A and B are shown apart, each in its own frame.
Chain A
Amino acid sequence: DAGVTQSPTHLIKTRGQQVTLRCSPKSGHDTVSWYQQALGQGPQFIFQYYEEEERQRGNFPDRFSGHQFPNYSSELNVNALLLGDSALYLCASSLKGSYNSPLHFGNGTRLTVT
């Protein structure tokens, strides 16, 4: 039973560039959430996707966008990268309606912006 998988594991980009991160949810899960974890901090919620639509969004600018595909996998796109976007980006999956159920996390993508 595959868990949450993310790619790539590491990425280095330059300021102003654009980046796409990918996530495949745990088998049987239909909801994907993205989190940003800066060094030494707790994960901060970016947004959540269900039925190919953004359902909830945290306090992140429009430079952060996403997509969910019919197979429930998801992408996170960040445009016009800033140095402050350097962080570990975590994808988590769950089942819709399971509000009180835990999320299952991938190992993350470490993004470094230079």
Chain B
Amino acid sequence: GNSVTQMEGPVTLSEEAFLTINCTYTATGYPSLFWYVQYPGEGLQLLLKATKADDKGSNKGFEATYRKETTSFHLEKGSVQVSDSAVYFCAAPIEKLTFGTGTRLTIIP
């Protein structure tokens, strides 16, 4: 069935390391794709989005490219900071907005 599959965590990196969090989806057609971030004690915030194939979403140094060949939307950042520590969710509007299971990211100084 339709779903969003996200790389399992937790992920621990040192400050200034390169980050990749994998996300793939299965759906009919090519829906918009989103990455949300959840900081401790807060709700979800939209981090970035891509509305069609080959689009690149970017925000706060994070990027993700919508690749229809591999049905993927991997999140990347070239140099992470301690303030990036949070839980990251990939999501797609498959019937309703469907979320991956989340990846907890911890950045150590």
Contacts from A to B (Cβ < 8 Å): 4, 6, 33, 40-43, 45, 48, 56, 58, 90, 92, 99-108
Question: What are 7 A-B contacts with C-beta separation under 8 Å?
Answer: A41-B102, A42-B6, A42-B100, A45-B98, A103-B46, A105-B44, A108-B42
A41-B101, A41-B102, A56-B96 are known contacts. Are A100 and B43 too (CB-CB below 8 A)? no
Question: Could you tell me the distance between the alpha carbons of A58 and B96 in the complex, rounded to whole angstroms?
Answer: 9
- Could you tell me if A42 and B43 are in contact, using CB atoms closer than 8 angstroms? no
- Could you tell me if A105 and B32 are in contact, using CB atoms closer than 8 angstroms? no
Proximity string of chain B (89-106) to chain A, C-beta cutoff 8 Å, 1 when within and 0 when not: 100010111111110000
Question: Could you tell me the distance between the alpha carbons of A43 and B42 in the complex, rounded to whole angstroms?
Answer: 13
**In-complex Cβ contact of B51 among A92, A100, A107 (8 A):** A100
- Could you tell me if B34 and A42 are in contact, using CB atoms closer than 8 angstroms? no
- Could you tell me if A100 and B31 are in contact, using CB atoms closer than 8 angstroms? yes
Question: Could you tell me the distance between the alpha carbons of A90 and B41 in the complex, rounded to whole angstroms?
Answer: 12
Measured between beta carbons, the chain B residues less than 8 angstroms from A33 are 96-97
Asked if B49 is at the interface (CB within 8 A of a chain A CB), the reply is yes
Asked if B12 is at the interface (CB within 8 A of a chain A CB), the reply is no
- Could you tell me if B95 and A90 are in contact, using CB atoms closer than 8 angstroms? no
Q: How many residues on chain B are close to A (CB under 8 Å)?
A: 23
A28 to chain B, nearest CB (A): 16
Q: Which residue on B lies nearest to A47, using beta carbons?
A: B96
- Could you tell me if B96 and A102 are in contact, using CB atoms closer than 8 angstroms? no
Question: Could you tell me the distance between the alpha carbons of A104 and B31 in the complex, rounded to whole angstroms?
Answer: 18
Having A6-B43, A41-B101, A43-B89, one finds 9 other A-B pairs with CB under 8 Å, namely A33-B96, A42-B100, A43-B44, A45-B97, A105-B36, A105-B43, A105-B45, A106-B43, A108-B42
Question: Could you tell me the distance between the alpha carbons of A106 and B38 in the complex, rounded to whole angstroms?
Answer: 11
A90-B43, A108-B43 are known contacts. Are A100 and B101 too (CB-CB below 8 A)? no
A102-B46, A105-B43 are known contacts. Are A48 and B101 too (CB-CB below 8 A)? no
For residues 74 through 98 of chain B, which have their beta carbon under 8 Å from a beta carbon of chain A?
Answer: 89, 93, 95-98
- Could you tell me if B44 and A90 are in contact, using CB atoms closer than 8 angstroms? yes
- Could you tell me if B95 and A42 are in contact, using CB atoms closer than 8 angstroms? no
